[in-house]
Amino acid sequence: MIGIQNIKLQYNDRVIFGGVSFLINPGEKIGLVGSNGAGKSTLLKVVTGEVSADFGEISKPKDSRIGYLPQELPLYDGRTVWEEAESALSSIKKIEKQLDYINEQLATREDYESESYLKLIEDLNHLTERFNLEGGYTYHGSLEKILTGLGFKPEDFSRQTTEFSGGWRMRIELAKLLLQPHDLLLLDEPTNHLDIHSIVWLEEFLQQYEGAILMVSHDRTFLDNITTRTVEVVKGKVFDYPVSYSRFVELRAERREQQMQALKNQEKEIKHTEQLIEKFRYKASKASFAQNLIKKLDNMDRIEIDEDDARKIHFRFPPAPRSGKVVLKANHVGKKYGERTIFKNVDLELERHDRVAFVGQNGQGKSTLVKIITEHLQHEGKMDIGHNVDIGYYAQEQAKTLAGSKTLLETIEDAAPEDLRKRARDYLGAFLFSGEDVDKKVSVLSGGEKGRLALCKLLLHPHNLLVMDEPTNHLDMRSKEMLKNALLEFDGTLLVVSHDRHFLQGLTNKIYEFREGKVKPFLGSIDEYLEARKFEDFRQVEQSAAKSPEKEKKKAASQNDYEARKQLEKDLRKAESEVQSLEGEIEKLESQLQQLDEKLHDPKQFKELSQDPDFYANYEAEKEKLDNLMQQWEKAQKKWDKLSREKESID
C-alpha cells in the first residue's frame, strides 16, 4: 500500500495542493483526472520524488518498485531498438552474465571436491532460481511481444533508434517500462504517441497487469476499460470515486447538483439569519440572541462550488454553404519521399454529408493524404475537389503555426472577416479566453490553449468540408466532448484523423484504413471496424498456421535466429569500423610520405635532409609501417566482405 498523506504544494501565490490525501492499494488501477493545469502531472512527480512537497509525505514499503512514464523523456542514441529496450533488463542481464561465468568455470575446472567448486554450484542454483523468478528464460519472448504490440515490426528490431521519430522512440521507453516488474506504474498520457491499434493492445496488457496503476489520460475509452477508481484533482483538492471514468462523470454531476442545492439552502439560511439579526440586534431583551446568531454566521462553513468544474468551451460551427454532391475524388493518388513510397494508387470519393475517419498506424500516410487533399503537398495521380467546396483545415501542427508575437485578440481580429472583428472577444470567450487572457502573447500559451485558439480561428469562416488532423491533441476531456458535440451538429462534410475511440464513436460512418502502403475503405463505425480487424487478424493467424505446419518450429527458433543476426550485425559494425580506422591511418601516412618524397625531389631541401643521420631510417620505417597497415587493411576488408555476404544470405 502506498499513501499520499496531506500533501501541500504552492507555487508563488497559487495553491497546487491544499492537503491532498488518498491511498493506492496493491493491484488497484486508478485514473487521475482533472482539467488541464489542475496539477495531475505534478502529483505524479510528487509520488516519484521528482518534485518535493511543501508539507506532507509519501509513505511506501521500503522495497517498493515504482515505474514512471512522463510525457517527455530524454532519448539516447547509439543502440538498436532491441538493445535499447533490452537495457531495461539490467538485473536479468547481470545475472545472465554471472551464470555464463559460473558455467564456464564449472566446465573447465576439475577440482570437483574443492570448497570453491562446491560454492560455484551453490551460486549456480541460487542465481538460476533468481533468473527464473525475474523472467530470464522468457524475457526474449516478452520483449518481442511488447515491441510488436506497440507497433514495431521484427525488421525494426535491428534498426538504430535514431532512425525513428520522437513518438516512436517514446514507444521504446514505454516498452522498457512494461518489461520491468513494478508494484506501481505511474503513467502520464501513455497513449499520446500511439495509434489506435497500439492503444487497444496496451489497454489489454494493462488490464492483465498485476501491479497497481495510477495514470493520467484524456482517452475516455482507455480509462473506462482499465480503471476501477477515479481520483479527480480540483482547485488543490481531490475527490475520490470507486468507479471508472464514465460513471464518475455521472456521479460528479450528481455531486455538483447536490452542492448547488446545499448552497441554495445555505444562502436561504444566511438571509433568514441576517434578517433576524437586523430585527433583534437593537432590542436590549434580544441582544444576547442576536449576538449568538452573529457568531453562528461567523462560524458557518461556507459551501464552495467547484468553479473549475463548470468552465467548458461552447461553440457551434457556422452553417455550411451547400456544395456539389461529390465533395472530393482521388484517382490513383500516390506519394513518395525519395525512394520511400508512403502509399500508391489510392482511390476514394467523399460525397456531401459523408463523415469519414482516417485510421491506421503512425507513419502510414494519414496526415500526408490530408495535406494532399488540402493542397499542401504535390502528389502522383489526380485529386479533384468538388463544386463550391470550401475546406476548413485543422492541421496536426496548426497550433505551432500560430504567430507567437501576436496577442490572442490580434490573432482572431487579423483572421476574422470585417463584419466579425468586433465580436473577436465573444469568440475568444467561447473558448475560455476572457478578461486579461485576450492580451496574452500566443507564445506563452500551453499546448491545449493553442489548440483551442486554432479551433477558434476555424469558426471565423463558414466551411462545408472540415478536414481535422488529430483535433483532440492537448484538449482535456470536457473540451473534447464539446468539440464532438459541435461536429455532430455540423451540417457539412467531415474528414477526421484521430486515434480516440470515444471521440470517433457516433461521429463517423465510414473508415479508411492506412496499412502497408494501401488505403482501404470500411463502411461502419469505429467499433465495428476494430471488431472486424480483430477477426481478420485472427483469421490470418489461422490460415498462416494451416499453410505451414513447420511454423511453430520456426517460431521457436526465431529468437535464436534473431540473436545470431544481432551478433552478426555487431561483428559487421566492428569490422566496418576497423576498415574505416585503418583507411584513415593509411591516408594520413600516405600524405606524410608524399610530403617527404616532394622534399627529396627538391634539391635545396634534399641537401638539408641528407644532413640528418636518422632521416633515411625513419623514412624506411614509415614505408614499412604503411606496408603493414595495407596488409591489416586487406585482412579487415576480407573479413568485412565475408560478414556482408553472410548478412545478405540471411536477408
pLDDT tens digits, one per residue of 77-100? 889 999 999 998 888 889 988 988
Closest among 364, 363, 362, 361 to 346, alpha carbons compared = 364
Cα dihedral across residues 633, 637, 639, 640: positive or negative: positive
Of 215 and 550, which is predicted with more confidence? 215
Q: What is the DSSP string of 495-521?
A: EEE---HHHHTTT-SEEEEEETTEEEE
Mean pLDDT taken over the chain: 86
Q: State pLDDT tens for residues 604-627.
A: 777 677 767 777 777 788 888 888
Which residues share a beta bridge with 231?
A: 32, 240
Q: Residue 547: pLDDT band by 50, 70, 90 thresholds?
A: low
Q: Residue 166: pLDDT band by 50, 70, 90 thresholds?
A: confident
The fold adopted by the segment(s) 326-535 is Rossmann fold (3.40.50)
Residues 46 and 261: beta-carbon distance below 8 Å: no
Query: 499546448: which residue's cell?
Result: 447
Dist CA 643 CA 572 (whole Å)? 6
Residues 394 and 451: beta-carbon distance below 8 Å: no
Q: What percent of the chain has pLDDT over 70?
A: 91
User: Given the DSSP bridges, would you call strands 184-188 and 212-216 parallel, antiparallel or unpaired?
Assistant: parallel
Q: Decide: residue 286, CB within 10 A, 0-12 exposed, 13-18 middle, 19+ buried.
A: middle
Residues 105 and 119: beta-carbon distance below 8 Å: no
pLDDT score for 226? 97
For range 369-394, the mean pLDDT:
94
Q: State pLDDT tens for residues 179-214.
A: 988 999 999 999 988 999 999 999 999 999 999 999
In the chain, helix, strand, coil percent, each to 5? Answer: 55, 20, 30
Q: Residue 552: pLDDT band by 50, 70, 90 thresholds?
A: very low
Q: Residue 569: pLDDT band by 50, 70, 90 thresholds?
A: low
Residue 594 reports pLDDT greater than 90: no
Which residues share a beta bridge with 29?
A: 213
Residue 391 reports pLDDT greater than 50: yes
Query: 543502440: which residue's cell?
Result: 79
102-104-109 Cα angle (round to 5): 95
Of 257 and 202, which is predicted with more confidence? 202
- Region of poorest pLDDT, from 195-209, 415-429, 549-563, 586-600: 549-563
Residues 73 and 270: beta-carbon distance below 8 Å: no
435 phi/psi in degrees, rounded to 5: 55, -130
Packing angle, helices 287-299 and 245-280, rounded to 10: 160
Domain ranges of the chain: 250-299, 326-535, 566-649
* Length of the chain, in residues: 651
For range 207-222, the mean pLDDT:
94
Residue 227: what residue type? T
pLDDT score for 314? 75
pLDDT score for 311? 60
Q: What percent of the chain has pLDDT over 90?
A: 43
DSSP at 390:
-
Q: 554 CB contacts (<8 Å, ≥6 apart)?
A: 548
Q: State pLDDT tens for residues 124-150.
A: 888 888 888 888 888 888 899 999 999
Q: 296 CB contacts (<8 Å, ≥6 apart)?
A: 273
Of 497 and 298, which is predicted with more confidence? 497
Query: 483535433: which residue's cell?
Result: 471
pTM, 2 dp: 0.74
Query: 576439475: which residue's cell?
Result: 110
Residues 15 and 192: beta-carbon distance below 8 Å: no
Dist CA 242 CA 240 (whole Å)? 7
pLDDT score for 40? 93
Label residues 567-601 b or e (16+ Cβ within 10 Å = b). ebeebbeebeebbeebeeebeebeeeeeebeeeee
Dist CA 261 CA 268 (whole Å)? 11
Residue 288 reports pLDDT greater than 90: no
Of 395 and 597, which is predicted with more confidence? 395
The count of C-alpha atoms lying within 13 angstroms of the C-alpha of 169, restricted to the half-sphere facing its C-beta, is: 18
pLDDT score for 307? 57
Residues 171 and 151: beta-carbon distance below 8 Å: yes
